[in-house]
Amino acid sequence: MSDQQTALSSWNEGPTKQSIVNFVRGATTSGGPQWVRPEERIAVFDNDGTLWTEQPMYVQLAFIIDRVKALAHQHPEWKDKQPFKALLDGDLETVFAGGQRALVELVMTTHAGTTTEEFSIIVQDWIASAIHPKFNRPYTELIFKPMLDLLAFLRANGFKTFIVSGGGVEFMRAWAEKVYGIPPEQVIGSSIVTKFDMRGEAPVLTRLPEVEFVDDNDGKPVGINKHIGRRPIAAFGNSDGDLQMLQWTVAGTGSRFALLVHHTDSEREYAYERSPLGKLDKALGEAEAKGWTVVDMKRDWKCVYPFEATNSALFSKS
């Protein structure tokens, strides 16, 4: 095992950290019974609530709201048309009451109609300026420091790390490399249809208002197979939407690891078992029954965000 074990420095000592270290030690101990060929060391991570904060709403929903506001002057009809009216009025309850149909309509309106490269720039511009309502910081600072440590620890031990999220794949790819060190080709997510077109002499890919793939629940193992083409040996999630991904991962032969992040820290982050569009219920039951690792955020994490770690480092200098 690489001595990057020290890289798990934001994890408190205890059974949670130990279960991670034991798994990685087994997978990397050449000649041992748990050894895994480096090519097979695939680790998959949910994004919302697993790698960054998903409260009070998915970050991509905040993007949608800001996009609808930005586009509203071109669409005077939205003032009287749901779900746009409710969204512009800040009435998210009515938006959610519209169910999946309303959300899909909002996604299509705000995510289609551009080329892939134009969309990427829209997302990059937005995420550079948008601010989280509770922490007054950019969303990209509200990523979990212990999970960054874990990504680094796995990579130092020969793992290839992937995001497998219900979020839009091109939304995440616009910033995931900079924020998590995960390149676009290792980001798997939900998608809309794109089409090859010529703009004069220039070939472009245009984003169409049509759902292509929903990478959640059953979709996660399907998306993993589609993109990676082999079964991961480690999977990390935080809700029932991740359950099938975790089940699929541990059902393989040889060394396997499954982990759930349980949000138990109402002071440093949030405490909940239910997010706007998901919950943690069945997966927690299965974790208990099968002995999967469950992170108790309050107990297991020395700090939640990178800016806390920086502060501590400053304090410890004095």
**Residues engaged in binding a copy of itself (CB under 8 A):** 39, 42, 116, 160, 169-170, 173, 177, 183-187, 191, 194-196, 202-203, 205, 218-219, 221-222, 225-230, 244, 247-248, 251
- Residue with Cβ nearer a copy of itself (56 or 113): 113
The nearer residue to a copy of itself, 211 or 228, going by C-beta atoms, is 228
Residue with smaller CB distance to a copy of itself, 68 or 224: 224
As measured in angstroms, the least distance from the Cβ of 201 to a copy of itself is 8
Which residue, 132 or 231, has its beta carbon nearer to a copy of itself? Answer: 231
Residue 207: beta bridge partners? 194
Residue 289 Cβ vs a copy of itself, minimum distance, rounded to whole Å: 11
Cα dihedral: 296, 301, 306, 311 (round 10): 140
- Cβ of residue 68: shortest distance to a copy of itself, in angstroms? 25
CB nearer a copy of itself, residue 125 or residue 185:
185
Closer residue to a copy of itself (CB): 228 or 271: 228
Shortest Å distance, C-beta 296 to a copy of itself: 27
Question: Closest distance between a copy of itself and the C-beta of residue 186, in Å?
Answer: 8
Whole-number minimum distance, CB 237 to a copy of itself, in Å? 15
Q: Report the candidate in 277, 295, 287, 275 with the shortest Cα–Cα distance to residue 243.
A: 287
